[in-house]
């Protein structure tokens, strides 16, 4: 029996996954602020709270910031505004919106996979259900969609762009303007998507040359102008308020260098994002242990690329064919090229290598469609075996969705409650505390000073002598991990007047007592 003949098993699994994700919005009050929300998400949530309250685009209520990605943050601001400052309810709405985005992305990918190549109705149906199930079952996909950051929204907008292009809307008279709107929203979702937009316009301009130079120039120019107009408020705000286009969160993490460690983490990030369904706990969370899995994923990736290359040649992708399959591969090829550029950019310029897998997560879109296309012939004859495999792949996601009702998942918890607990025990509430990691801390504690520069541009010039900045601003407390203490207070903080005051778990609380 073919998979397409009995969709009830797959539909049942999809329904269970969707309900498990939606249930996050209804979890108990004690766990509503917990994982899969992350420490970094609280920067965006703090900005959203301030915007909704009319305070401005700020984390701490004082300094303006651009250390966040705008589109999803302003969606979050709408949630805070609607609830009138009820923060728990606002977070519930954010999680509910995330569930809708998660589902919409999966179903868009299902439509893309169905039309990726010709085939019978049964083949197209099989590819559709496979893509939807593969995307929803991915543990890392689940975690990224519900982390409170822009990643899930980015996946949705990329998928929408892909589907619109696949349907041939670009060829219609208003097509370039429609694509321009979507591409502008893509940049507002995450600023580094500007690389994809530039590549898309360049490649599409070359492809349209067969229609004549001026028609091609007009259509691509219209798309680019509309995209720039849609995203312009963010560019203008950055330049007028901060004097440069890059957000401070990017500036704070930028350090150009040839670092073998960064390149290894790029490789690891591509491995986990190309197969987000395959998650084996700490074997995937630790690069040293996960290298074997990354090699396995890389080998599978090579096979996928070979198959896609052959399909591209067979479908006359290169500027000749203009059917849905060719357009699907064209867009996918541009996205793959953009991701390669991002690999080089982040691998050589960004110190935050632990975030590479989030920066490169659009790889999961390509992998989902590619796997659905390649696995469909087997799935059509495998019957319930295919459903069983998909169910096994979905188990980490389903287990984590259940655990999230108690504030836990199978992933490492990056909402740093111990940091807050340590500070609450020893520091008066009105005294400012500095830290490099201030996402969770800054959201729940007003008197917080960010020193890594992500949301505090004033701290960026002092990265190598932070003790001077803290002294000048009368900040007498510092709470962070030991490596952050050494980075910002020096190998021997006592030289600069700091003394260890208390600790809790891996967190250290230091107090300035003068020279």
Q: What is the pLDDT of residue 290?
A: 53
Q: Answer whether 480's CB lies under 8 Å from 515's CB.
A: no
Taking the C-alpha atoms of residue 438 and residue 444, their distance in angstroms, rounded to an integer, is 10
Look up residue 418 and give its two tokens. 């111990």
For the chain, helix, strand, coil in percent to 5 are: 70, 5, 25
Low-confidence stretches of the chain (pLDDT < 50) are 1-4, 286-289, 317-320
Considering only CA atoms, which of 396, 158, 355, 153 is closest in space to residue 269? 355
Helix (H) or strand (E) holding 428: none
Q: What is the pLDDT of residue 11?
A: 86
Question: Which single residue is written with the structure tokens 């685009």?
Answer: 57
Look up residue 384 and give its two tokens. 């319930």
- Report the SS3 class of residue 66: coil
Q: Answer whether 419's CB lies under 8 Å from 42's CB.
A: no
- b/e per residue 130-148 (b: at least 16 CB within 10 A): bbbbbbbbbbbbbbbbbbb
* Full DSSP string of 109-145: HHHHHHTSS---HHHHHHHHHHHHHHHHH-HHHHHHH
Do the bridges between strand 507-512 and strand 477-480 make them parallel or antiparallel, or are there none, so unpaired?
antiparallel
Angle at CA of residue 45, ends 436 and 279, nearest 5°: 75
Do the bridges between strand 498-504 and strand 448-450 make them parallel or antiparallel, or are there none, so unpaired?
unpaired
Residue 350 bridge partners (DSSP) = 254
Residue 456: what are its φ and ψ, rounded to 5°?
Answer: -135, 95
User: Residue 136: left (phi > 0), alpha (psi -120 to 50), or beta?
Assistant: alpha
Extract the runs of DSSP E, i.e. beta strands, from 153-245. none
Taking the C-alpha atoms of residue 458 and residue 3, their distance in angstroms, rounded to an integer, is 58
Q: Residue 200: which residues within 8 A CB-CB, separation 6 or more?
A: 179, 183, 334
Q: What is the pLDDT of residue 337?
A: 95
Q: Residue 492: which residues within 8 A CB-CB, separation 6 or more?
A: none
């Amino acid at each position: 029996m073919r998979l397409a003949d009995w969709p009830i098993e797959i539909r049942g699994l999809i329904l269970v996954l969707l309900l498990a994700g939606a249930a996050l919005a209804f979890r108990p009050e004690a766990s509503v602020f917990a994982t899969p929300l992350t420490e970094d998400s609280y920067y965006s949530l703090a900005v959203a709270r301030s915007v909704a309250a009319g305070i401005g685009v700020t984390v701490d209520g004082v300094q303006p910031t651009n250390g966040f990605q705008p589109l999803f943050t302003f969606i979050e601001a709408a949630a805070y505004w609607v609830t009138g400052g009820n923060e728990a309810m606002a977070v519930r709405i954010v999680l509910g919106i995330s569930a809708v985005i998660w589902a919409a992305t999966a179903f868009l990918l299902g439509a893309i996979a169905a039309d990726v190549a010709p085939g019978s109705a049964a083949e197209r149906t099989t590819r559709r259900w496979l893509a939807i199930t593969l995307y929803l079952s991915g543990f890392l996909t689940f975690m990224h969609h519900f982390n409170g950051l822009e990643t899930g929204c980015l996946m949705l907008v990329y998928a929408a762009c892909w589907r619109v292009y696949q349907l041939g809307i670009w060829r219609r008279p208003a097509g370039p303007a429609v694509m321009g709107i979507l591409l502008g929203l893509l940049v507002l979702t995450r600023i580094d998507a500007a690389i994809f937009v530039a590549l898309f316009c360049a490649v599409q301009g070359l492809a349209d040359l067969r229609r004549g130079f001026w028609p091609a120039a007009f259509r691509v120019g219209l798309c680019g102008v509309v995209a720039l107009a849609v995203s312009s408020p963010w560019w203008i705000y950055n330049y007028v308020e901060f004097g440069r286009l890059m957000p401070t969160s990017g500036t704070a993490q930028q350090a150009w260098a040839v670092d073998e460690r960064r390149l290894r983490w790029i490789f690891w990030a591509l491995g986990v994002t190309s197969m987000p369904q395959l998650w084996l706990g700490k074997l995937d969370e630790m690069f040293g242990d996960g290298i074997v899995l990354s090699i396995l994923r890389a080998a599978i990736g090579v096979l996928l690329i070979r198959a896609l290359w052959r399909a591209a040649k067979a479908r006359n992708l290169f500027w000749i064919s203009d059917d849905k399959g060719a357009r699907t591969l064209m867009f996918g090829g541009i996205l793959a090229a953009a991701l390669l550029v991002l690999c080089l950019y982040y691998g050589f310029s960004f110190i935050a290598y632990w975030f590479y897998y989030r920066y490169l997560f659009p790889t999961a879109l390509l992998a989902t469609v590619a796997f659905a296309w390649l696995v469909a012939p087997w799935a059509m004859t495998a019957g319930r075996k295919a459903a069983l495999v998909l169910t096994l792949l979905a188990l980490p996601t389903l287990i984590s969705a259940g655990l999230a009702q108690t504030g836990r998942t199978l992933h490492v918890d990056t909402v740093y409650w111990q940091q807050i607990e340590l500070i609450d025990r020893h520091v008066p509430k009105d005294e400012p505390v500095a830290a490099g990691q201030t996402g969770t801390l800054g959201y729940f504690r007003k008197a917080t000073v960010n020193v890594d520069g992500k949301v505090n541009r004033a701290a960026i010039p002092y990265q190598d002598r932070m003790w001077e900045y803290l002294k000048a601003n009368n900040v007498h407390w510092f709470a962070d991990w030991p490596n952050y203490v050494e980075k910002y207070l020096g190998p021997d903080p006592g030289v600069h007047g700091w003394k260890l005051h208390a600790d809790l778990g891996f967190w250290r609380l230091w107090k300035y007592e003068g020279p």
